[in-house]
Amino acid sequence: MNNISTVLKNLGILKLNPAFSTGSNWGATSGAKTLDSFSPVDGKKIASVQLATDEDYETVIKKAADAFLFWRNFPAPKRGEIVRQFGEALRMHKEDLGTLVSYEMGKSLQEGFGEVQEMIDICDFAVGLSRQLYGLTMHSERPNHRMYEQWHPMGIVAIISAFNFPVAVWSWNTALALVCGNVCVWKPSSKTPLCGIACQHIIATVLKKNNMPEGISNLLIGNSVGNLINNDKRVPLVSFTGSTRIGRVVSASVASRFGRSILELGGNNAIIISKDADLEMSIIGAVFGAVGTAGQRCTSTRRLIIHEDIYEAFKNKLVKAYGQLRIGDPLDQHNHVGPLIDIAAVEMYSHAIDKGKKEGANFVVEGGILSGDAYQSGCYVKPCIAEVENHYEIVQEETFAPILYLIKYKTLAEAIALQNGVPQGLSSAIMTLNLREAEQFLSAAGSDCGIANVNIGTSGAEIGGAFGGEKETGGGRESGSDAWKGYMRRQTNTINYSNTLTLAQAVKFDL
Catalytic residues: 264
Residue 345 contacts residue 300 (beta carbons within 8 Å): no
Q: Helix, strand, or coil here: 260? A: strand
Cα separation, 180 vs 171, in Å, equals 14
Residue 184 contacts residue 216 (beta carbons within 8 Å): yes
Residue 192 contacts residue 428 (beta carbons within 8 Å): no
**Residue 97 CB contacts under 8 Å (≥ 6 apart), including other chains:** 11, 90, 112, 116, 167, 195, 198, 199, 202
Half-sphere exposure of 362 (CA within 13 A, CB side): 6
Cα separation, 220 vs 216, in Å, equals 13
Sheet holding 45-50, edge to edge: 19-20, 45-50, 34-38
Cα separation, 385 vs 402, in Å, equals 9
Residue 46 contacts residue 55 (beta carbons within 8 Å): no
Cα separation, 288 vs 307, in Å, equals 20
